[in-house]
Amino acid sequence: MSTPPTPSLLLLHLPPSILCGIDLLTFTTTPTFHGIKSLPSGLHFLFTSPSASLSPRDGFWFLIPRSTPPPILHRKWDPERETLVPCTEDEARAFVIGKGGWKEVYEKRLTPYRQSAVEGEATAEDNKWEWLTEHVTPGLLTRFTRSEEWTIGSTSSGVQDRDEIPGLSTQEARSVIGEEKELGMLGIDLKRTWREGAVGRERTEQARDKSWVLADVVAKCVPEVSGEGMKVGEEEEKWKSVILGQMEVCFLMVLTLANYSCMEEWKRILGAVLTCERAVWEKPRFFAAFIRLLKKQLERVDDVEGGLFDMSDDGAGFLKGLLKGFKRTLGQKSGDVGDRADDVEEEYLEVEKWVKEQYGWELGDEFVRKGTLQLEDGEMVEMETGEMEGEDESGEYAPVIVEL
């Protein structure tokens, strides 16, 4: 055997008993483990960590193309940096020869991508990975990681998520907490969602309806998206590739690396998309795809170490409030929209049903706020609750007109 008969990833000098993961599978390495074979085509993510504890993790994305002969990728372990780094073909060839040749390495030292899978068949986990990376592209990974090697670690961070240490300059802070790889975030600032120079009603509308800021983000990432001379379907596909692709990458980096900055970016995307109004009716296919993706991701939240966030009825105010607000937006559909948003409503009902079954969330506004309650001694008293005022902007949370 001169080369492996299936797409393979060769990992040189990988020490035993370290944590290693590829896509949605995590395991501890053994002395005979030197890589993975039978890799399906498409994008994959591999990470390592010196221990299985909460030590920093480093990883890289890679692409397996459909090609003949099957591609062979290789990396080597850097003992000083305790991470995998690129290596030359000569280094890989010398390593294989030292282990007895490709036949020996392929049959005894490379682990199948899915050990439980029948040769040639896809498992449920394979499909889940494909679903969770549907909108991820090589171009997005280059922009997001700011590297052609597509590397990222637990401490990689977007500029807006970096911690500032009072009294220390940026250079001094880096010497304390270490150099962080900068990530390419979308630049969403939920505290400022209106265009430069907007005043009056325009500014108020863009503060409440995040449609403009999403269009601006997409236009900056894909400059040719201007809405002029472009069909609606084509523009929606660009929105998917930029916003949903970023959402997918960030969620998976939280899932595998526990990356804090990616968690914050994921929450910013949810905060922007679920508070849109005008764009919901203009780009219904994008919003249907977004809700569908959100449900797939929520089905994996328990896979995150320590939980993605508190999903209890009391602790999930962030997401629960957004979903309630989005439901109110869907309920405000005007007659000229027709059936364009039917898919969005159907996908939302699936999410609403799922969170109710899993966590007991009630996303409707049908709550008893005032009524009569009978006490143990038989006395009847009138009760009123204000717990929901924050969510429906009533009571002390009601908007106030201020004269300037």
Question: Tens of pLDDT along 26-42?
Answer: 999 999 999 999 999 99
- Pick from 292, 269, 265, 279: which is nearest to 134 by CA? 292
Task: Give the mean model confidence (pLDDT) for residues 77-99.
Answer: 94
353 band by pLDDT with thresholds 50, 70 and 90: very high
110-115: long-range pairs with CB below 8 Å, 24+: 110/4, 110/8, 110/10, 110/34, 110/35, 110/36, 110/37, 111/33, 111/35, 111/36, 111/37, 112/36, 112/37, 112/38, 113/22, 113/36, 113/37, 113/38, 113/39, 113/40, 114/25, 114/38
In this structure, of 109-118, 137-146, 185-194, 205-214, the range with the lowest mean pLDDT score is: 109-118
239: exposed, middle or buried (C-beta count within 10 Å: 0-12, 13-18, 19+)?
buried
Q: What is the pLDDT of residue 399?
A: 60
If we measure between CA atoms, which residue out of 341, 225, 361 comes closest to residue 283? 341
- Whether pLDDT at 174 is above 70: no
Task: Please report, for residues 13, 60, 78, 159, the alpha-carbon distance to residue 35 in angstroms, rounded to integers and kept in the order given.
Answer: 10, 14, 16, 34
**22/30 Cα distance (integer angstroms):** 15
Look up residue 201 and give its amino acid: R
Q: Which among 238, 58, 65 is positioned nearest to 149, based on CA atoms?
A: 58
pLDDT higher than threshold 70 for residue 107: yes
pLDDT in tens, 214-254: 999 999 988 654 555 556 578 899 999 999 999 999 999 99
